[in-house]
Amino acid sequence: MKKSHLISLDQGTSSSRSILFTASGDVVGVRQKPLKLYYPDDGWVEQDAEDILNDMLWAVTSLATDYPLEMADVSAVGITNQRETTILWDRHTGKPVYHAIVWQDRRTAPVCADLRARGYEELVSRKTGLLLDPYFSATKIGWILEHVEGVRAAAERGDILFGTVDCFLLWHLTRGAVHATDVTNASRTMLYDISRQCWDDELLGLFGVPASVLPEVRDNVSDFGQMEIGSHDYMIGGMAGDQQAALIGQGCFLPGMVKSTYGTGCFALMNTGQALVHSQNRLLSTIGYRVGGEIVYALEGSIFNAGTAVQFLRDNFGFFENAAESEVLARSVPDSDGVYFVPAFTGLGAPYWDPDARGVISGLARRSTKAHVVRAALEAQGFQTRDLLDAMRADSGGQRLDVIRADGGLVANAFVCQVLADVTRCRVEVPRVAEGTAWGAACLAGVQAGVFSSLAESAKAWHAAQIYEPRLDEAHAEDLYDGWVEAVAKTRFVRA
């Protein structure tokens, strides 16, 4: 009898989790450990790569200890991860040469600005589908090579390996046997030609990255090697960056389908099928997934701060003790009374791409209360998504986008989901399987292990748990959005 349980290793910005699924997407068990972020300078964001590894090992080992019977029925393991976060390590010892530089980090903004001024953005965009921005891995790699003593020389000798988080975990989980990444993570490095589907020598030269540090690039469904959990070996059968994993977990396998994930940031992806659409509205053209050599592309809107707005009001202002209280506060007032909260803590992402922008709370009056500010912070999630969907509609020739499949921690907040529907004029569908990102990685592993005959078969597990339809008068929604546009403009005149 075929084994039907699946494990997902879900390594995110704020935590490392291991989740045990049935083949129908039901969660059997979860083990999670929070992950510390370090802010050594303004705009710098780092993590300890060894903590990332050790926390993930703890999570999966704890899961195995607590569910021994189910573990005997596990067919494969999938990995999903925070993308772009950059790690360089010694190929002989496995030790990182520096902290992981997190995707939110902006320290290389001057490097990107210089390359733009020298006319390189068109080249980068044409080959990678990305924009010249410190968000992506290439300039982070360059920073480590140039600023950590001895690393450039060691890399030139072939002693240094680079990987995004998936690759770093895979190398260690397979005890150094496999130095590989998947095509979705490779597509976020700013070193990978997404049309030719290979590392690009011209880009390597531009960013000063030796080819010797790069991993092999594989399909999302592949035999990535064996990992040991307890006393048993398990095949790692699937791997994808977190947002592409969510696209898969949400069953968005047809062109025009959109998923939007609300966690630390907000990331909306639209499946564009086999058509590589180069955005004219400062979205990212990226790889959705590749299975059996067949590629599916996507348009992506990336927003750096979503759930961080709630964390900021909790941790910095002390407005509430836990995130659930934010919904109660937001509902305690009938509207935000002209207050807007633009959470540009680390700059603006799509469609503005301004690394120098800083957060703004605007429209404050003497009568404003913390409830108005909290409500404005939650409403920002809808406004930010509207920015992205407008750009997607324009890039896809005015295609109707009527449904958003939404997931991530913030969708537990019903107020946010209703605002999202009201502002975007879309039906918002929240899935029964709340762990969409982790489930997507499990689905990939399940295809490799034969639990599913195809990704399309895995989508049969998808069902909506809640549906939100637009309620707010459309004209009023447009007025509110106009105010948002004005508030965003104010962030771009604030300089750190």
Q: DSSP labels for 102-131?
A: PTT--TTHHHHHHHHHTT-HHHHHHHHS--
Of 23-37, 102-116, 394-408, least confident by mean pLDDT is 394-408
Please tell me which residue, 128 or 398, carries the higher pLDDT value.
128
The answer to whether residue 299 scores a pLDDT higher than 80 is yes
What phi and psi, each to the nearest 5 degrees, are found at residue 154? -65, -40
> Among all chains, which residue has been given the structure tokens 């409830």?
371
**467 bridge partner residues:** 429
Q: What is the pLDDT of residue 496?
A: 46
Answer whether residue 187 shows pLDDT above 80: yes
Q: Give 437-487 as a DSSP string.
A: HHHHHHHHHHHHHTSSSSHHHHGGG--EEEEE---S-HHHHHHHHHHHHHH
Where does the pLDDT of residue 330 fall: very low under 50, low under 70, confident under 90, or very high at 90 and above? very high
Q: What percent of the chain shows pLDDT beyond 70?
A: 99
Longest Cα pair distance anywhere in the chain, in angstroms? 69
Other C-beta atoms closer than 10 Å to the C-beta of 51 total: 15
- End-to-end alpha-carbon separation of the chain, Å? 61
Please report which confidence band the pLDDT of residue 34 belongs to, taking 50, 70 and 90 as the band edges: very high
Buried b (16+ CB within 10 A) or exposed e, 174-191: beeebbbbbbbbbbbbbb
Pairing of strands 74-81, 5-11: parallel
Q: What are 463's two structure tokens? A: 């069902």
Q: Are 411 and 464 in contact (CB under 8 A)?
A: no
pLDDT tens column, 224-239: 999 988 878 899 999 9
> Quick check: helix, strand or coil at residue 144?
helix
Residue 445 has pLDDT above 50, yes or no: yes
User: What is the rounded CA–CA span in Å between residue 248 and residue 164?
Assistant: 20
Q: Where are the beta strands (DSSP E) in 168-309?
A: 180-182, 192-193, 198-199, 216-218, 226-229, 232-241, 258-262, 266-273, 284-291, 294-303
Alpha-carbon span 333 to 369, nearest angstrom: 9
Cβ proximity of 429 and 417 under 8 Å: no
DSSP 310-360: HHHHHHTS-S-SSTHHHHHHHHTSSS-TT-EEE--BTBB-TTT-BTT---E
**Is residue 396 a contact partner of residue 272, using CB atoms and an 8 Å limit?**
yes
**φ, ψ (nearest 5 deg) of residue 322:** -140, 155
- Selection from 417, 420, 352, 426 nearest residue 393 by Cα: 426
Residue 233 main-chain phi, psi, to 5 deg: -100, 140
For the ranges 178-187, 191-200, 395-404, 462-471, which has the lowest average pLDDT?
A: 395-404
Q: How confident is the model at residue 264 (pLDDT cuts 50, 70, 90)?
A: confident
Per-residue confidence (pLDDT) for residue 1, from 0 to 100: 54
Residue among 157, 42, 38 nearest 102 (CA)? 38
Q: Could you read off the pLDDT of 66-123 as tens digits, one per residue? A: 988 888 889 999 999 999 999 999 999 999 999 999 998 999 999 999 999 999 999 9
Which of the four pLDDT bands, split at 50, 70 and 90, describes residue 459?
Answer: confident
Phi and psi torsions of 110, nearest 5°: -60, -35
Contact predicate 398/347, CB 8 Å: no
Domains located in the chain, CATH noted: 5-240 (3.30.420.40)
pLDDT at 493: 66
For residue 316, pLDDT over 80 is answered with: yes
Residue 246 and residue 436 in contact, taking contact as beta carbons nearer than 8 Å? yes
Give the pLDDT of residue 400.
79
- The 3-state DSSP class for residue 262 equals strand
- pTM, two decimal places: 0.88
State the average pLDDT for the chain.
93
Q: pLDDT tier at 340 (50, 70, 90 boundaries)?
A: very high
Residue 177: strand, helix, or coil: coil
Q: What does the pLDDT read at residue 324? A: 85
Kindly report which listed range (173-177, 275-279, 432-436) carries the lowest average pLDDT score.
Answer: 432-436
Q: What is the pLDDT of residues 198-222, one digit of tens each?
A: 999 999 999 999 999 999 999 999 9
Query: Of 199, 101, 188, nearest to 148 (Cα)?
Result: 101
At 430 the three-state DSSP class reads strand
Is residue 407 pLDDT above 80, yes or no?
Answer: yes
